[in-house]
Chain A
């Protein structure tokens, strides 16, 4: 009997449950999709370096999933509470008919289990099919080979999803029982008739609070952007005050707005007394009093989503862009020459080592050989000169006793020509510094601006330019050239500490496949074993474009991935809260809209009023979140800049807006349609 009642209840209130159900299904599907990554990994033919990154990512997702589960748990309990509140009267009727609280709890238990099972099945199904789609995205992100596409099903992820959501449903049951046991019969029966008290706020107070909130937000904005440098202390301690101020400011903003905007619009009779404006504004005002807190939470969640998504996408973009610049050739092989070698030991060149290991040099083209030196008397202390103290104060981490890398002009220009970098000319008493690591560049520029002379075995050289030039020799995933001193060819380097030879080349192939074949020879175990067998003679070190790409793209891909996961869940959570809040009040709204209809408003007007009402509710937190984000993104980018340069923001912002429009907009449309359905009869 109870079971029948439960099933009927669900069927009857499907309209109300639709959004709740949708949220559960989406939550489950996304949870499964991200947790089934390790299963996807097996199907993607990725390289070992990428596989390691994927492993790391799966481990990180493990931790993040717990966090996500907590957020979803809160959301579900919160959403369920709404639905229970809506059904107060129904429970009141059961109780007057003599049903005990325990039986009502039992009805809810059956309902929860039914909805839980159905949502799990539907969610998992969507998740399983969605993850096929996602593995295509993953493959693209990690540049994996997708030729071996097969259907994947992760039983581990399925079990995990079931366990996590099972716990959440248990929590829902627990809270339901508490809610039911607290209700008094009289409250349940008169629930519908109770009018929400319209709190009237002091306008003057509201204006003052509004100004306070604006100044709090303004200060927080200022601190994280203009005053950015003062924040960069240990552990970002300085970040706490602006964050707290931002949260409080947001809350006060909504609080004061609720009393303030109505008065503002009312003062213009032309707008206020036009069409259904008055009705819509009053609708919003009646609820905003009770929704200030959730508005704040939603606004902050949206803010985090926007910042996380757009900065993650921009990192990904700038990574791929700078990667292209930083890997102009296919391979770098380096080898240190032995300086104090014993008599009779032959020094092998890189070419010779390769040949000893049976490598066919025809695999390479554009072969360029060059060398880098360090000498005894040229350390950072020398190149920075009198600035040492000043630099030490600002950058305590600089190691002054590290030897500077020196290159001869012609050696450098050979490579620069191949790379498409700037080539230099030097007079006999001049030198040039190339450097692309941002922090180091700043330090060196100070010295160069000071016209710092350097002394190599008695020959004094002065800088040709007052700043560092861009350039590098070693290909890598990020800007790591700390500085290369380029000196004229005729300078004799006497007391050399080290000589590092470089062999730079492109693969002799035109297609990606051909290049991959040559790459395979180099990373093949047989080849590396043969090199290792040469022991000291063959102490070479190779870095290839493909490896650099895989590891770097893997890293940025991982960041983007986790950001997407968090961002989407946050978006769903905030939209769902808003949607449920709107829908839970739809029964009150139904009466109000039917009055509108009775006094002669036509359907077009009524739909417009409903659209405006829901639209404004969705728009207000989004607008403030967007304003927050304008400053938040700038802050995020500044932090990221210390890691790597960040590229153009247009694409990330477009992509982020896309996500928001699809998910947030989707919830908005769903809410509008559901509400329209509810007020129809």
Chain B
């Protein structure tokens, strides 16, 4: 299997000489194609910084990040935008849908800025909407649909460009448990049927239990790694809880 994401000795420091905070401290890991990885950690553990660096929004202090064998720490300016547009898909905690556009248009926008032709856009939007069961809300505005539907619209937007890697930042953070379950089932579908590679950041054990692999981060370092393997989701969930207990501290609160 080919490696979609390869992180080598990545470090990210904040602050200046006298007062340095190591947000990410020498992390290395790989993500293979069609993998579904969750990154767990308490707030302040560095997981969002890690995601920001992978998503090219932030710059690393040292180390390398390869996406599809391309070192993104070496790309600059407009090429970076192009890379982000074409190789990555994003799902945010607060959806980030445009309130002035309908669901259809929100999804289509990701393709129009890639200059895909109109016929192709229409076909692909309807196709993905069918798969994510949001066909009947396509002509509605974000404020007319539920939170779960909003996040599925956002997922459709992220996946429609066929990105190499989908990055999700606390995707269930603003959802109730039922919507969260539906969304995560959609993620499973995208991962299994559409072969999307997903990297998800969360602090929620239940959300993480849908992933195939979990990396635990504490104080900017990888603390533990869990692989689902052949275990059921329930068994996997129990394993996660065990690690979280081991990690102790704040992460306990969020179970």
A residues near B, CB below 8 A? 195, 198, 269-270, 272-279, 282-283, 285-286, 592, 595-596, 598-605
Contact = CB atoms under 8 A, between A and B. Distances in A.
B141 A273 contact: no
Given A286-B100, A599-B157, A600-B81, A269 B119 contact: yes
A602 B85 CA distance: 9
A277 B100 contact: no
Contact of B118 (A195, A269, A601): A269
Given A269-B121, A278-B108, A282-B100, 9 more contacts: A195-B143, A269-B122, A273-B111, A282-B98, A592-B98, A592-B99, A598-B96, A600-B110, A601-B85
B92 interface: yes
Nearest to B115: A275
B97 A276 contact: no
B118 A279 contact: no
A278 B109 contact: yes
Q: What are the nearest 10 A-B pairs in CB distance? A: A600-B85, A602-B81, A269-B118, A273-B118, A282-B100, A286-B100, A600-B84, A595-B96, A270-B118, A601-B113
B99 A273 contact: no
A269 B141 CA distance: 19
B98 to A, nearest CB: 6
A276 B99 contact: no
B118 A272 contact: yes
A283 B100 contact: yes
A279 B108 CA distance: 10
Contacts of A595: 96-98
B115 A273 contact: no
Nearest to A271: B118
A285 B98 contact: no
Contacts of A275: 112-113, 115
B100 A600 contact: no
B100 A285 contact: yes
A135 B92 CA distance: 62
A586 to B, nearest CB: 14
B90 interface: yes
Q: Which of B78, B119, B141 has the most CB of A within 10 A?
A: B141
A349 B81 CA distance: 94
Interface in B118-171: 118-119, 121-122, 141, 143, 157
B101 interface: yes
A366 B100 CA distance: 80
Nearest to A272: B118
Q: Which of A269, A592, A599 has the most CB of B within 10 A?
A: A599
B90 A599 contact: yes
Contacts of B96: 595, 598-599
A619 B244 CA distance: 60
Contacts of A276: 109, 112-113
B35 interface: no
Q: Which of B86, B98, B122 has the most CB of A within 10 A?
A: B98
B192 interface: no
B109 A279 contact: yes
